Amino acid sequence: MSTFNAPRGTYDLLPPDSATYLAVREAMAAPLRRSGYGYVETPGFESVELFARGVGESTDIVTKEMYTLTTRGGDELALRPEGTASVLRAALEANLHRGGNLPVKLWYSGSYYRYERPQKGRYRHFSQVGAEAIGAEDPTLDAELIVLAYDAYRSLGLSGFRLLLNSLGDRTCRPGYRSVLQEFLRGLDLDEQTRARIEINPLRVLDDKRESVQRQLAGAPMMRDHLCEECKAFHEEVRALLTDAGVPFEDDPRLVRGLDYYTRTTFEFVHDGLGSQSAIGGGGRYDGLAEMIGGPQLPSVGWALGVDRTVLALEAEGVDLALPAVTEVYAVPLGEEARRRLFHLVTELRREGVAADLAYGGKGMKNAMKSANRSGARFALLLGERDLAEGVVQLKDLASGEQTALELAAAVAGVRDKLR
């Protein structure tokens, strides 16, 4: 036992559970790779100012949840609490938007950090797969990303999730709605901190999860009643495209999400089997974010899907993923010469794409076979002095107990045939 434990609100991924997380990440990434999205990786920390401008100074993420530090050189940095601002910063810095090849389509995967009150489904260190389509104001892109997320969840075998959809308008219609909403909110019985938020970003109040606040919001004006004609048409096109693609959704006029940069399309995938932490992924359009962080106007849309919560959703539905075998063949040598020959054979099997392992540490036959069974291998390769003299190796089916002698010189081909 170590003297140290993982920090509060974090977790370690260890076998065999880690295989499920890898499978979930792969399922989320596979539709993106098939749709022209290239992989991007950004640093685990960025300038505090990037998130203050991009995510929003009034958000809980910036005011309460960011891990910040000051370097020896005096730079103010933050562990990344989300992925979009970092990816957009990287794309702008590399001038990926120049040359007319828009949209720039990127996907990423990594760990993110927020100082939250730890509970099941809400951690201080969490894993996401994200995607961004940068530089095009096209409802087809919004629909594409939603469909790709939907297909990823379905490919995992999930069925108990719902898609919530809303539009938050744009710089043309949102100012008028903002004024109407502020007027309504100022008449409510709210605490001082929430009242301050009304003046900075009143839409944040709609996202307040406290029951005492939600009760008072029953008659709040909705953005959908204040959309300009362009935003209405854009949103209706997204809805029509989703319907054509066979993706069911629910209109949710109260859906805001926790980031300030969203415009127009906003969506969230929720799973009712997860209790209060029901969101398993979401995103939306952020047409003004590039300008907020000092770049040109680049209308964009993206999402992030939570790996941790998706695993919890799979558990809630009792879905067992078909995971690739960690070990297909387990080699058991009896003696030094057998160990050398099996090491060579295992190396060749691995080079041929077979998942193979070896009994290390001079284990006796009994203990080695226990390890073979624990490994989940389908076959064991047994090699002793008599086998060496005869130029064969024994291939044992660990399920049936059937044993076959293979010529050592042709053992790799023989194992591959048996695995087929």
Return the sign of the alpha-carbon dihedral for residues 336, 338, 339, 343.
Answer: positive
User: Do 332 and 359 contact (CB within 8 A), yes or no?
Assistant: yes
Taking Cα atoms as reference points, which of 133, 139, 137 lies closest to residue 233? 139
250 annotated to bind ligand: no
| CA-closest candidate to residue 44, choices 134, 135, 128, 145 | 128
114 annotated among ligand-binding-site residues: yes
To the question of whether residue 193 is assigned a binding role by annotation, the answer is no
Give the DSSP H or E segment for 201: none
Is residue 182 a known part of a binding site?
no
φ/ψ region of 333 (left if φ > 0, alpha if ψ in -120 to 50, else beta) reads beta
Q: Which residues contact 359 (CB under 8 A, 6 or more apart)?
A: 330, 331, 332, 333, 367, 368, 371, 372
Q: Kindly state the helix (H) or strand (E) to which residue 379 belongs, with its residue range.
A: strand 379-383
Query: Cβ atoms within 10 A of the Cβ of 157, count?
Result: 14
Does 257 appear as a known binding residue?
Answer: yes
Assigned token pair, 132: 């961004």
Tokens of 69: 């530090």
Residue 114, CA distances (Å) to 10, 67, 79, 339 in order: 10, 7, 8, 49
Query: Which residue type sits at 287?
Result: D
Q: Is 177 annotated as a binding residue?
A: no
Q: Was 176 annotated as part of a binding site?
A: no
405 alpha carbon, distance to own chain's centre? 46
Question: Could you tell me which residues come within 8 angstroms of residue 72 by beta carbon, excluding any fewer than 6 positions away?
Answer: none
Task: Give a three-class secondary structure readout of 263-316.
Answer: EEEEEEEEEHHHCCCCEEEEEEECCCHHHHCCCCCCCEEEEEEEHHHHHHHHHH
**Residue 420 annotated as binding?**
no
Rounded Cα–Cα distance for residues 307 and 406 (Å): 44
Would the annotation count 262 as a binding residue?
Answer: yes
The three-state secondary structure class of 49 is helix
Q: Which amino acid is at 259?
A: L
Burial class of residue 381, CB neighbours in 10 A (0-12, 13-18, 19+): buried
Paired residues of 383 in beta bridges: 333
Residue ranges at the known binding site for L-histidine? 82-84, 114, 128, 132, 257, 261-262
Residue ranges at the known binding site? 82-84, 114, 128, 132, 257, 261-262
